Amino acid sequence: MKIRAVAAVAKKDLTQMVRYPTWIIELFIWPLIFPLAYILSANGLAGPSGEGFQSFAAKAGTDQIVGYLVIGSMIWMMVNFTMWNYGSYLRDEQLRGTLESNWLCPINKFDILIGGSVISFVTVVISVVASILEYRFVYRIHFTGNIFSWILVFAALVPGIYGIGTILASLVLKLKEVNAAVNVARGLMMILCGITFPISVMPYFMQVMAKFIPYTFGIEAARQVMLMDSGIKGASGNILICLIEGIVYMIIGRLVFISVENGVKEAGSLDRF
């Protein structure tokens, strides 16, 4: 990896972001709006006396239903922003007509994607900070633990987020379709990873599938640290599995990128839309 190449790509993306700054509005609006659908649905389906909440609490391990929902939503938004920004990065460059010329530069082509991840990471950090502040002061959620334990949990999620994002970005370059790929990926996450419910309520085969996705363990670890006051020690098992699976996905992502890179070279398809 050449730092100069990565820095040049990141600087270019930063210039574009500063030039069109309205993108930041959604990072503050979505965290407020997105969990509302789940919170209102939960209140509506819990029954007139809230008896449904007791059953949910028994399965979820906490009676803080709103906190349970917003933490899952926050991590889903992290993944969602990454899929749309980082996952479509190479395709966006292709549509702008700049990818082919960049591909001819005498650098490691993966550095282009690494450079694209820098701004995506900045976006994710802003989203998480905005979410925590809004959930604390607007939704009145009392988060447990401390900022260092929170950072450790979110850091454990990063390899999985960017590993799967790299797979998506590479395949999209070959398949030429962003929307369908992103919608399928994030749809699977919403169903399998326990964003709004414990995975124990799903059929067994779906629970098995969920355990192959690092976000499942990252979400559970975040809830243990930020909601159940289990601390890093109590969440260490989920954090470790999330990290290991994330690293595996990063390796797979790198291999997929190499395969796609060789494929587009042989086919000469970078200029095809």
pLDDT, tens digit, 9 for 90 and up, residues 92-121: 887 787 877 878 788 888 888 888 888 889
Mean pLDDT, range 197-202, rounded to an integer: 92
Q: List, in order, residues 6 or more apart from 11 with CB less than 8 Å away.
A: none
Q: pLDDT at position 269, please? A: 63
Q: What CA–CA distance (Å, rounded) separates 246 from 161?
A: 7
Within the chain, residue ranges assigned H as helices are: 3-19, 24-45, 51-60, 65-85, 89-96, 99-103, 110-137, 147-175, 179-192, 204-210, 214-226, 231-267
Q: What CA–CA distance (Å, rounded) separates 109 from 5?
A: 10
Lowest mean pLDDT among 10-24, 86-100, 191-205: 86-100
| Report for 27-31, 122-126, 163-167, 222-226: range of highest mean pLDDT | 222-226
What is the greatest pairwise CA distance in the chain? 67
State pLDDT tens for residues 168-182. 888 877 777 767 777
Lowest mean pLDDT among 97-101, 118-122, 212-216, 232-236: 97-101
Q: What CA–CA distance (Å, rounded) separates 186 from 80?
A: 7
What's 198's DSSP letter?
-
Contact 177, 87 (CB under 8 A): no
User: How many CB atoms lie under 10 A from the CB of residue 118?
Assistant: 17
Mean pLDDT, range 188-207, rounded to an integer: 92
Domain coordinates of the chain in residue numbers?
3-35+61-262
Q: What CA–CA distance (Å, rounded) separates 134 from 130?
A: 6
| Report for 6-15, 39-48, 70-79: range of highest mean pLDDT | 70-79
Read off the pLDDT band of 228 (50, 70, 90). very high
**Predicted model pTM:** 0.90
Q: What CA–CA distance (Å, rounded) separates 130 from 226?
A: 16
Q: pLDDT at position 235, please? A: 94
